[in-house]
Amino acid sequence: MPLPRAPRLEEVAVEAGVSPATVSRYLNSPRVVAEATGKRIRQAIEKLGYVPNLNAGALASSKSRLIAALVPDIAASMFNDTVEAMIDSLAEDGNSVVLALTGYDNHRLLAEIELALARRVDAIILTGIVGDKRTRERLRAHPVTVIETWGLPEDPIDIAVGFSHRAAGAEVARFLRGRGYRRPHLVVPTSPRAERRATGFIEQWLQDGGDEPTRMSVAVPSFFGQGRLSFRMLADLDVRPDVVVCGSDWIAQGLIVEALAAGICIPDQLAVIGFGNLRMAGDMRPTITSVDIDGKHIARETIRVLRARALGREVEKRIDVGFRMVARESA
Amino acid sequence: MPLPRAPRLEEVAVEAGVSPATVSRYLNSPRVVAEATGKRIRQAIEKLGYVPNLNAGALASSKSRLIAALVPDIAASMFNDTVEAMIDSLAEDGNSVVLALTGYDNHRLLAEIELALARRVDAIILTGIVGDKRTRERLRAHPVTVIETWGLPEDPIDIAVGFSHRAAGAEVARFLRGRGYRRPHLVVPTSPRAERRATGFIEQWLQDGGDEPTRMSVAVPSFFGQGRLSFRMLADLDVRPDVVVCGSDWIAQGLIVEALAAGICIPDQLAVIGFGNLRMAGDMRPTITSVDIDGKHIARETIRVLRARALGREVEKRIDVGFRMVARESA
DNA sequence: CTGAAAGCGCTTACAG
DNA sequence: CTGAAAGCGCTTACAG
């Protein structure tokens, strides 16, 4: 059987004996409609099984209630907590999230931005800062709210909610030096963010009088298996490190598992520090020392500025959510 | 400076010296427009910085090019690979994915379905089957493609792409029995799917002459820490199990880490089997025996039926992607 | 609190 | 291969 055409708002209006304008008002701001009128409309909607067409609504009001979230990946991402919390909050406000994947070399970023603009999304949320200058200009030329998260550029495209990766790296250096470690080895995922943390670490380490740390790179997205591999590659180093600074908790976890299997005692023979403070870090044996980034806090601040913007209020350009050292057993 | 209003298709038409209809055709099916005309249009678009309004397009054509993906969560989900692969493929076809979170008790499922219908999405993809009868009816009453994934109900709402959780559970029972284990203990996440696997396991186990297995439940989403906890709770059992059947690889991993810390040798003193065959399972020490579910295969088949539907072709109602035992060190 | 009317920016069947 | 015209289903400023 062919399905009947979906009823339109006008048919609801006829059924309820009011004008389309009133039905529209009832749907969008129920309070301005008289109680009795509202009731009739409600019944008409129920009777006809009316489902509004939000595409028409978006066109007429030029508000799509669509937010684009552009992330590198979701398979094994540190951002998942942030994204999840954002989707949750946005849903409460009646917004929907269009999730687009940009890959780690951002090769699809520009195309996804164009698509988001064409959909007339109310905002574009990016994880990580946009490196490409042309892309930044493109975004600035459009009347769309842009929020860069997890990073804190000097001059945000529009708004940034994040923390200084450089400062985080420096803090790790101070922390480890304070604990008496002297020969750190860095395992650095090949992402701009991890790179900045490594830079921050090294600068601080040298400044405090330490020797140049050894380092190696691993591909992003980083995962458990790379940690294991990283442990084995320690054997090739000229100086034996006393602590391994991992670019993510997954790398730290893999490295620990491999070290334990090799009979190495952690942290006595080798200390390990992760990054991100994933839930697993506190549950591992030994528990993993890490740097806590509060992804939900980032999400909260992002939603807050989004709401402020929607109300036409002025908002800060740079919001620093900071980070926090979490000392546990592994270092 | 106030941003100028975005140029409309009509302005592009004027600039290019053609009618709006021709510009629209060029945008949607470039091949039907003459080469020279296309070139002029391209230049006009470039010159004006035209970005089409897809909301208007969706209204006029009643095709939104929007696909809704409804998943319980993304923070620690077995579905992430599937979702990621689907988003990738859909993006290639110019579709966007609206990602909605339904929670593990599906409390938000109905609301998210209504929202998706209101956005006139071309398809709704669900992970897991929809239990609620009223919701199933609601979906059937609408002219939208509905794909249930990761499960294989007898009577899909529309189309199902998945596997039989019951058969998977039974297969694990046969596998372990064949390897000589006799006292399995089940750690079952409180999800309908995990429950079905447990049922399948127990039925098969009893049928093969085994004794009723012991079991305990853990909350979903299941994570590493629960595995550790589960290990400790083994001490409370009357019979000491020789193998623990875990509802996910995360649980298996946590359990292994805790067992090793307690000086238990795996699999000699206690065997462990996971579920899902996450990347990490093959990287763990010891490597984790698991059941492989090919999330990307599910994604591929989902995209395939979506494309077939778009072309108006008849498609299968139930697509079984199966599963595969992966024997490794842990059991 | 409610209605009449114009408009949002596209697509497409029809005709040529 | 291209154009004129109608229509997609809403919202909102204006008036009462």
Is the sign of the CA dihedral A111, A116, A118, A123 positive or negative? negative
Q: Which two tokens mark B110? A: 């109905």
Can you list the alpha helix ranges (DSSP code H) found in chain B? 9-16, 20-28, 35-48, 54-61, 80-92, 109-118, 133-140, 165-178, 192-207, 224-233, 249-261, 279-283, 295-310
pLDDT value, residue A178: 97
d(CA A101, CA A103): 6
| Identical fold, A9-52 and A165-292 | no
Of B56, B75, B119, the CB nearest to A54: B119
pLDDT value, residue A103: 86
Q: Which residue of A has its CA nearest to B77?
A: A75
Average pLDDT taken over every residue of chain B: 93
Q: Which two tokens mark B16? A: 């290019």
pLDDT value, residue A3: 55
Choosing among A257, A278, A279, which should be mutated to test the B contact, i.e. which has the most B CBs within 10 A?
A257
Asked if residue A267 has a cis previous peptide bond (ω within 30° of 0), the answer is yes
> Rg for chain A (alpha carbons), in Å?
25
Q: Which two tokens mark A95? A: 């917004």
CB-CB under 8 Å, B52 with A284: no
d(CA B140, CA A122): 31
Per residue in B182-238, pLDDT (tens digit) is 999 999 999 889 999 999 999 999 999 999 999 999 998 888 889 999 999 999 999
- Top CATH class of B9-52 equals mainly alpha
- Which H or E run includes A254? helix A249-261
Are A292 and A324 within 8 A, CB to CB?
Answer: yes
Give the angle A92-A94-A96 at the CA atoms, nearest 5°. 100
Task: Decide the pairing of beta strands A66-71 and A123-127.
Answer: parallel
DSSP letter string over A192-223?
A: HHHHHHHHHHHHHHHHTTPPPPEEEEEPSSP-
Are A94 and A65 within 8 A, CB to CB?
Answer: yes
Are A307 and A93 within 8 A, CB to CB?
Answer: yes
Neighbours of B161 (CB within 10 A): 27
Are A117 and A142 within 8 A, CB to CB?
Answer: yes
d(CA A151, CA A82): 13
Q: Tell whether domain B66-163+295-321 is in CATH 3.90.930.12.
A: no
d(CA A283, CA A279): 7
pLDDT value, residue B105: 74
What phi, psi does A268 have (nearest 5°)? Answer: -60, -50
- A59 interaction partners in chain B (CB closer than 8 Å): 53, 55-56, 59
What's the pLDDT band for B275 if we cut at 50, 70, 90? very high
pLDDT value, residue A131: 81
Neighbours of B53 (CB within 10 A): 20
pTM for this prediction:
0.93
A144 reaches B (C-beta below 8 A):
no
Query: Which position has the token pair 């929907």?
Result: A96
Question: Which nucleotide is closest to the Cα of B58 by its C1'?
Answer: C10
B58 reaches A (C-beta below 8 A):
yes
What phi, psi does B28 have (nearest 5°)? Answer: -95, -30
Are B285 and B301 within 8 A, CB to CB?
Answer: no
Residue B133, judged by CB atoms within 10 A of its CB (0-12, 13-18, 19+), counts as: exposed
CB-CB under 8 Å, A280 with B225: yes
d(CA B178, CA B189): 25
More confident residue, B316 or B4: B316
Measured in whole angstroms, how far is the alpha carbon of residue A210 from the centre of its chain?
34
pLDDT value, residue B4: 67
Residue ranges of the domains in chain A?
A: 9-52, 66-163+295-321, 165-292
pLDDT value, residue B2: 45
Along the 331 residues of chain A, how does pLDDT read in single tens digits? 345 689 999 999 999 999 999 999 999 999 999 999 999 999 999 999 999 999 999 999 999 999 999 999 898 778 899 999 999 999 998 999 999 999 877 778 999 999 999 999 999 999 877 888 888 998 998 989 999 999 999 999 999 999 999 999 999 999 999 999 999 999 999 988 999 999 999 999 999 999 999 999 999 888 888 999 999 999 999 999 999 999 999 999 999 999 999 999 999 999 999 999 999 999 999 999 999 999 999 999 999 999 999 888 899 999 999 999 999 999 9
Per residue in A242-286, pLDDT (tens digit) is 999 999 999 999 999 999 999 999 999 999 999 999 999 999 999
Q: Please name the residue whose C-alpha is nearest to the C1' of nucleotide D5.
A: B21
- A91 interaction partners in chain B (CB closer than 8 Å): 100-101, 108, 112
CA distances to A286, B143, B193 from B221, rounded to whole Å, are 23, 32, 12
Q: What is the mean pLDDT of residues B265-290?
A: 95
Report the share of chain B in percent with pLDDT over 70.
99
The DSSP call for residue B250 is: H
Q: How far is the CA of A30 from the C1' of D15 (A)?
A: 22
CB within 7 A of nucleic chain D: A 5-6, 8-10, 20-21, 24-25, 27-28, 50, 52-53, 56-57, 59-61, 63; B 18-22, 25, 32-34, 36-37, 56, 59-60, 62
Are A277 and B302 within 8 A, CB to CB?
Answer: no
CB-CB under 8 Å, B55 with A114: no
d(CA A275, CA A291): 5
- Which H or E run includes B182? none
CB-CB under 8 Å, B81 with A75: yes
Q: Which CATH architecture has domain A165-292?
A: 3-Layer(aba) Sandwich (3.40)
B74 reaches A (C-beta below 8 A):
yes
pLDDT value, residue B1: 37
Residue B42's region, left for phi above 0, alpha for psi from -120 to 50, else beta, is alpha
A60 touches strand C (CB under 7 A): yes
**Helix count and strand count (H, E) for chain A:** 13, 12
What phi, psi does B246 have (nearest 5°)? Answer: -95, 145
Per residue in B75-133, pLDDT (tens digit) is 877 889 999 999 999 999 899 999 999 987 777 899 999 999 999 999 999 987 788 88
pLDDT value, residue B3: 55
B285 reaches A (C-beta below 8 A):
yes
Can you list the alpha helix ranges (DSSP code H) found in A29-77? 35-48, 54-61
Neighbours of B269 (CB within 10 A): 12
CB-CB under 8 Å, B223 with A280: yes
Neighbours of A137 (CB within 10 A): 10
pLDDT value, residue A1: 37
Neighbours of B298 (CB within 10 A): 25
pLDDT value, residue B106: 74
Are A227 and A258 within 8 A, CB to CB?
Answer: yes
